[in-house]
A and B are shown apart, each in its own frame.
Chain A
Amino acid sequence: MTNVKNLLKKYKEDALSYEELVQLRTLINGMPDCDLESLFSPDDDDFIDNGICVPVKVKHAIDAAIARYHMCRVRRMVIWRIAALFIVAAGSVLIYGVLKQNAEYGRLVSNVINMQTGHGESMVAMLPDGSKVRMGYNSTLRYCIGNFNSSGRAVEFTGEGAFDVVSDASAPMVVRNGELSVTVLGTVFSVEARENEDNAVIYLKEGMVELMTGPNSSKVVLRPDEMALVDRKSGGITVECVTSPKESVARLKGERMFDSCPAGEVLVVLSRCYGIDISFENHIYNRDIFTGVIPTDNLDAALRIIEENYNVERTRVGNEIVLK
């Protein structure tokens, strides 16, 4: 180290020999920067006024460099601000998109699905949870997709329908018809509740349902093969045991079973079902007793059964069918 200091002193005084220069080179080139730096402490001479002065252009160059440095910083800040703005804008667009999507979803969920059958028609409606409703003639099924969720399922129903409800104990299905409501967990049952009829009929084939005729009425529980007659005006419920379940089973299949029924009444039922007046030309047949199954969704098949039974033929007169 003393050697280096010595050489350094000679270097400053321009007193190095060529050999010493070679020596100095070898020494400093093998020395890490920090060691070399430690050799260069400022001298007292550096601080006295020795007549030399730093050219003004140096200060100007420094000022210019600092100004440039600041410009860069300002520019960087501006860029950051623009970037921030962009992020905010992109975020708003994203949020707007999500909200819009949600609104669309909400509209979809709150959309009311309406299914309807006309005279002599039948259809099988599939509900969002996989439950099936076999709808008889002149029936309406109404629900919102949003009403099908983990805590419940709700539909409104008018007419005749056979429900086959997918079992889900945590989300009971409620079938409403005016004030009447049928709560089910997972069953097969039928509902017949029409606006123009006094009684609604609920027949349970499997499982268990609860009936309520209003928000404050007591619950009535139906067991399999029981039929409830609900007086739509008074809200009274009569529960009957179905002696021949065949009739109700027929209804579940979209058929009507008549057991020793006057033929005139059969025609009245069919007229209502198909929305067209059907009558015998010869009124004698009205008193005949009819037993059999007649489809409620196929007018041609239904009429053929009557024709074959009574040996008559259909004639269409306006909006009326007369059997001669």
Chain B
Amino acid sequence: MRTAEEYERYLMWEMRRGSIKAFNTIYELYSKPVFHYCLRLSKSRVSAEELVQDVFVNLWQYHEKINPSLSLSNLVFMIARRYAANLFRLTVNSPVFEDYVDYYNSIGCEDNSKLEYDQFHAHIRRAVSNLPESQRNIVELSRFEGLSNNEVAARLGISEKTVRNQLSIALSKLREKIRKYPGKTNSYD
């Protein structure tokens, strides 16, 4: 263990001096844990990939200023935490996540065919693109951009009542679709 620590310290000093080779080794060692960590928190592969990218680019940008007395793991996760917290807020506050909570509560936890949030999200996206245009616009603004019914109405120049009606029609259509094709096998990658 001690030698591993020493090795990491050595890598940090090397990176501080500008060694891209040391940086690459650090990436080899930490990209997976960071990715897994982000996946846990954001429940989204795409976001986790972007986050890994941000974390390591950030690490390199400040490589001259890093404090080599920190452990390498602390350093990497210190940066990752900042991005992850932000991402976590986005996911929890997202209307689609709200729909997802609705979804998995309605099918029951023991159901093996339950979609992951990521898959759910992809399904929704796919389903939304098949909606008629007027409904699609409303759903996109409401679910993906997180606007309130009021704001959607103002943005599209229609009444709030129309927004509410259209949205409820669209959402019930989407729910139906997702219940119809839950298939755990259809992973999207």
Chain A contacts to B: CB under 8 angstroms: 11-12, 14-18, 21, 24-25, 28-29, 33, 36-37, 40-43, 45-47, 49-50, 52-55, 57-59, 61-62, 65-66, 69
Q: Please name the 7 residue pairs, one residue from A and one from B, whose CB atoms are nearest each other, closest first.
A: A46-B33, A37-B81, A65-B57, A46-B36, A36-B85, A46-B37, A54-B35
Question: Considering only CB atoms, which chain A residue lies closest to B20 in the complex?
Answer: A66
Question: What is the CA–CA distance of A100 and B171 in the complex, to the nearest angstrom?
Answer: 84
Residues on A with C-beta less than 8 A from B156 are none
Q: Does B77 contact A (CB under 8 A)?
A: yes
How many A-B contacts at CB < 8 Å in the complex? 94
Residues on B with C-beta less than 8 A from A25 are: 92-93
13 residue pairs bridging A and B, Cβ less than 8 Å apart: A14-B104, A14-B109, A16-B101, A25-B92, A33-B82, A40-B37, A42-B73, A46-B40, A50-B36, A54-B32, A54-B52, A59-B31, A62-B57
Q: Kindly list 4 other residue pairs between chains A and B, CB separation below 8 angstroms, not including A14-B104, A69-B60.
A: A11-B92, A37-B85, A46-B33, A54-B35
Q: Mark B73-105, 1 if CB is under 8 A from A, else 0.
A: 100010011101110110011000110011011
B117 touches which one: A14, A28, A54 (CB < 8 A)? A14
With the chains together, A87 CA to B102 CA distance in Å? 67
Residue contact A58 to B53, C-beta cutoff 8 Å:
yes
A65 to B36, CA, bound (A): 22
Docked-complex contact A42 and B39, CB < 8 angstroms: no
In the complex where A11-B92, A29-B93, A43-B40 touch, is A62 in contact with B81 (Cβ < 8 A)? no
Q: B40 → chain A, closest Cβ, in Å?
A: 6
B72 close to chain A: CB less than 8 A: no
Shortest distance from the beta carbon of A13 to any chain B beta carbon, whole Å: 9
A25 and B91 CA atoms in complex are apart in Å by 10
- Contact, CB under 8 Å: A47 / B85: no
Among residues of A, the one whose C-beta sits closest to the C-beta of B81 is A37
Chain B proximity of A286: nearest CB distance (Å): 108
Cross-chain contact of A21 among B20, B31, B81, B101 (Cβ < 8 A): B101
How distant is B75 from chain A, measured CB to nearest CB, in Å?
12
Interface contact A59-B32, CB-CB below 8 Å: no
Partner of B27, one of A53, A57, A59: A59
Residues of A within 8 A of B84 (CB): 37, 40
For residue B56, which residues in chain A have a CB less than 8 angstroms away from its CB? Answer: 62
Q: Give the shortest distance, in Å, between B27 (CB) and chain A (any CB).
A: 7
CB distance from A44 to the nearest CB of B (A): 10
In the assembled complex, B114 has its CB within 8 A of some CB on chain A: yes
A53-B33 Cα distance, complex, nearest whole Å: 10
Complex contact B49–A58 (CB within 8 A): yes
CA distance A16 to B109 in the complex (A): 10
User: Is B41 interfacial (CB-CB < 8 Å)?
Assistant: yes
* A40:B85 contact, CB within 8 angstroms: yes
The CA-CA distance from A15 to B117 in the complex, in Å, is 12
Chain B residues positioned under 8 Å from A37 (CB to CB): 81-82, 84-85
Residue of A nearest to B59 (CB): A62
Say yes or no: is B61 at the interface (Cβ < 8 Å to chain A): yes
Q: How far is the CA of A53 from the CA of B45 in the complex (A)?
A: 11
